[in-house]
Amino acid sequence: MSSFRILSLAALVASPALAESHATPHDAGLTYGVRPAYLISQMEDGALKDKLQSCVAQAPKVSKFSIGHRGAPLMFPEHTEESNRAAAAMGAGILECDVTFTADKELVCRHAQNDLHTTTDIVATDLGQKCTTPFAPASGDQTATAECRTSDLTLAEFMTLKPKMDAADRSATTPEAYLGGTADWRTDLYVDNATLMTHARSIELFDSLGADFTPELKSPSVEMPFDGFSQQDYAQKLIDAYKDAGIDASRVWPQSFNLDDVLYWIEAEPEFGAQAVYLVEWTDGFDEQSADTWLQDFAALKEQGVNYLAPSMNMLLTVEENGDIGASAYALAAKEAGLDLIAWTLERSGPLKTGGGWYYQSVTEAIDRDGDYFEVLDVVAQDVGVIGVFSDWPATVTYYANCMGL
Report the predicted TM-score, pTM, of the whole model to 2 decimal places: 0.93
CA distance 356 to 269: 39
The predicted-structure confidence for 217-233, as pLDDT tens digits, reads as follows 999 999 999 999 999 99
pLDDT over 70 at 56, yes or no: yes
The predicted-structure confidence for 134-178, as pLDDT tens digits, reads as follows 999 999 999 999 999 999 999 999 999 999 999 999 999 999 999
Architecture of domain 9-97+197-214+281-404: Alpha-Beta Barrel (3.20)
Q: What angle do CA 74, 78, 83 make, to 5 degrees?
A: 75
Helices H / strands E in the chain, number of each: 17, 15
- Between 23 and 181, the more confident residue is 181
CA distance 40 to 370: 9
| Residue 60 backbone dihedrals phi, psi, to 5 degrees | -60, 145
CA 80 to each of CA 101, 118, 128, 139, 155: distance values in angstroms, whole numbers, following the listed order: 16, 14, 21, 33, 16
What average pLDDT does the segment 275-285 reach? 98
Q: pLDDT-based confidence at 28, cuts 50/70/90?
A: low
CA distance 318 to 336: 17
What average pLDDT does the segment 270-295 reach? 98
End-to-end, the C-alpha distance of the chain in Å comes to 23
Element (H, E) at 207: helix 199-208
Q: What is the pLDDT of residue 244?
A: 98
The predicted-structure confidence for 333-374, as pLDDT tens digits, reads as follows 999 999 999 999 999 999 999 999 999 999 999 999 999 999
Question: Domain ranges in the chain?
Answer: 9-97+197-214+281-404, 113-178
Q: What is the pLDDT of residue 29?
A: 85
* Mean pLDDT, all residues of the chain: 94
Nearest residue to 247 via CA among 19, 22, 401: 22
Nearest residue to 73 via CA among 172, 194, 193: 194
